[in-house]
Structure 1
Amino acid sequence: MFTAIACLAPVIAANSFSKAVISGPARSDLQNWNYETVDIAPYLNAGKNTLAAVVTYMAEYAPFAQMHYQFGFIVQGDGDTEQVVNTNNTWKIFQNPAYSPVINDIPKLRTYIVMGAGDRVEAAKYPWGWEEPAFDDAAWTPAKPIGWPAKPRGLGTDGNWNLVARTIPFMEEIPQRLATVRRSEGVDVDDDFLQGKNAFTVHRNSKTVILCDQGH
């Protein structure tokens, strides 16, 4: 069983091919916090595998519709054999320095905004390959338990998240490529790039602008 607590979009990756397995949880409130159950056996290879997750917590920058309490994450195996995946201090954590919030300037816009902040990503700071079995995580720190655990709804009243099973289907996730490059500055880009048939290079200390259109 995979349970995600107080995070918007965790992604589980398993084995050397870094296959995305699941994202969630479904939008919840603290009295009804959804957990996800998934069989990862089809994603595993014989030998060494890596189970990894991205946990996003936006705190005060979250959209108003996203209820939250604090940062947290749980993985729990269904049976005795699967307990090896349980979240404890054998898991390691790392705060990705590549991400920073693009905050809505509400006073400047002079309006009421309920959406969350955007993301700014600096590729030079990103730990590329972090989900691969061969990645060196020696500098990462062991995970720590939080004081008040999550628990199934109805089991006591002292938990911060009352867990319930997801009741709606998973969101459909299919590849959808952009259709056309409308404008590019500082680099030559054609539509073959959008179809995965071509590449281009952005040189260091340069500025590149690419405007893509979905077509609808």
Structure 2
Amino acid sequence: MRQCRGAASRRRVPRTKITVPAPPADLVSRPRLLGVLDGASDAAMVFVGAPAGFGKTVLLAEWARRRDREAVAWLSADADDNDDRLFWSAVLEAFGSCGRIPEGNPLRLLAVPESPSTDLGFLAQVADALDAVPGPVVLVIDSAQEITSPGPWHGLQALVRHQPAGLCLAISSRREPPLPLGRARLADRLVEIGAPRLRFTAAEAEALFAGADAAIPPDQAGPLVARTGG
């Protein structure tokens, strides 16, 4: 009974916030980047970082749809996530949408305390629950630059320090997040895609123009990519 009350004490989050976005009508699949992300099997973290308009969300959403959907927890961050309790409520609801999380796992039932990111007992429960999951789970936090309050980041830093075996944290952001990326790089446990890799190749630009019925000759795709920086 106590666990049921815990679940009810979470802040309510919109379903769209924890749902992988649908592909755009003009989607250009990017196998060269999806292959890089597929190499994240043993990584503790994934970071896709670039300014606005580089296709970070589209790339991560396509990757999430290609993976075992039972093993991906998605959170589209926005300014509301600066409320620490709402952020952790959304994280737990995202985990709860994963079929890989067993019905009795505490991630489905945990209460969210008043200050979750500084509640070491709560964070330890989350880490232990992830350790008990039968297989890895990817938590994607998209548009993470919207989280400017230090609270949620403090909690994520603590969670990463616990390094639960069942978790890969994937972040997309316009700037580098306050997480121990350097340590993950040194340990070869970070998969990173920045602006240079996200820029369109000439072949990808041709596919985009073809899908949009743009009257651009194929031999002009390369020069156009060069002029626009991809």
State the TM-score, normalized to the length of structure 1.
Answer: 0.22
Question: Which of the pair is proportionally richer in helix?
Answer: 2
TM-score, normalised with respect to structure 2: 0.21
- Larger strand share, 1 or 2: 1
Higher RCO (Cα < 8 Å, 6 or more apart):
2
* Bigger Rg, which one: 1
